[in-house]
Amino acid sequence: MKNKAILEVCNSSKSFGGVIANHNISLTVPEGEIVGLIGPNGSGKTTLFNTIVGTHPLDNGEVYFEGQEISSLRVPEIARLGMLRTFQQTRIYGGMTGVQNMRISSPLIHDSNFSTMFSGLPPEVDERSDELLEFVGLYEKRNLMSGDLSFGQQKLLEFAMALMNEPKLLLLDEPTAGINPTLINGLIDRLKLANEKFGITLFVIEHNMRVVMNLADSIYCLAHGEMLAHGLPDEIQNDQKVIDAYLGAS
């Protein structure tokens, strides 16, 4: 039996001036699964993420999260419902340590006073921080300035910061881009573990075909701002439309 949808996008459209970024996009992300999103550069993947999480308002269409229509909501409201995203370029605080980045990501910060960021938080915040930094392999570097970490390690820290919020759905925008190939397998394993161990549904934009084929339960492909294909990894990998539009262009 297929899992119920945690995210539904219905006929989503978004233009910037005369440029159509997304046109009548519809998709479903089942709860508890890992869903991939691929497509050539400029196909509208990041725009779709931005409209889903409330960064850009939709021109037309609806977005449903756990059955609630959320297209009129903005980023903080959607985050409080349990949907978060990461970015192609990391958004960490380079002048803070890993532990401090984790503390500032705690939901308790948002529910209290910003002055409690480095003191006054209950001990379980740091306990959770340590667990997650261990989970992503950064525990030994937790007291280093985050700006001194490698780009791949910064991406792992951003992932841990997102997990600190205990999201129900996490949208990851090219999580392996710019990461040393030796770290990629470890990241794939951690994404799968986050899905299995923490029950977090993942919706992942990914250019690395090996990564997305090994990671995703199903894959959507965009081209020229429109939905081109959807299917299991093997189906997508052998879809001639996808090969022509994306794989053949890589």
Report the SS3 class of residue 81: helix
Domain extents in the chain:
1-82+168-250, 91-166
Average pLDDT over residues 40-44: 91
pLDDT of residue 109: 63
Q: Please give the span between the terminal C-alpha atoms of the chain, in angstroms, as a whole number.
A: 36
Give, as one character, the DSSP assignment of residue 224.
T
Residue 213 has pLDDT above 50, yes or no: yes
Check residue 185 and give its pLDDT.
Answer: 86
* pLDDT grade for 248, boundaries at 50, 70 and 90: low
Please say if the pLDDT value at position 40 is more than 60.
yes
Query: Residue type for 131, please?
Result: E
d(CA 167, CA 11): 25
pLDDT digits (tens, 9 = 90+) for 80-128: 999 999 876 677 889 999 999 999 888 766 544 555 555 667 888 989 9
Which residues, 6 or more positions from 205, have their beta carbon under 8 angstroms from its beta carbon? 36, 37, 38, 45, 46, 49, 171, 172, 173, 174
User: What is the model's pLDDT at position 102?
Assistant: 93
pLDDT at 220 (0 to 100): 97
Q: How many CB atoms lie within 10 A of CB 41?
A: 10
* pLDDT of res. 112: 47
What is the per-residue pLDDT across 53-86, written as a single tens digit (0 to 9) for each?
999 999 999 999 999 999 999 998 999 999 999 8
- In DSSP notation, 199-223 reads --EEEEE---HHHHHHH-SEEEEEE
Q: Which CATH class is domain 1-82+168-250?
A: alpha beta
Q: When comparing pLDDT for 231 and 152, which is higher?
A: 231
